[in-house]
Each structure stands twice: as structure tokens, then as C-alpha cells.
Amino acid sequence: MAWKTPKIEYVNGYKIVEVEGPVFKVYDGSVQLGDDFPYSGEAAGYANSLPKRKPVV
């Protein structure tokens, strides 16, 4: 099994990271929020339900 670089996207100022599985995790800085999500749409929906945050530049 080869190592895979995680995909990262930002939704509503929160970082969504895809890790092996695939599993999607929502982060506020280095703190994971919520559970692991099986689909990117679920992770994005969760991030959109949180208070809006300024994106990190």
C-alpha cells in the first residue's frame, strides 16, 4: 500500500482533510471538530453548520 498525500480543502474557514480510507476530518487549527466523515459532502455540511471563521492565509 502506497503512502498518499492528504487532500486539503477549506470550507467556511475550516480545514477539511481527506485521509486514508477515505475518511474526511474537519479541523479548526490543529483541533479536530466532530467525528470522522465517510464523504466529503458530509464534512463540508458540518463545516458550514459551524460559525463562520476567517480563513488562515
Identify the pLDDT of residue 53. Answer: 83
Instruction: Tell me what the mean pLDDT of segment 4-24 comes to.
Output: 89
Does the pLDDT at position 55 exceed 90? no
pLDDT (0 to 100) of residue 12: 93
> Residue 15: which of 23, 3, 24 has the closest Cα?
24
The DSSP output letter for 2 is -
Residue 45 has pLDDT above 70, yes or no: yes
Domain ranges for the chain, please list them: 14-49
Main-chain dihedrals φ then ψ at residue 10, nearest 5 degrees? -115, 130
Over residues 5-34, mean pLDDT: 92
By CB atoms closer than 10 A (0-12, 13-18, 19+), residue 47 is: buried
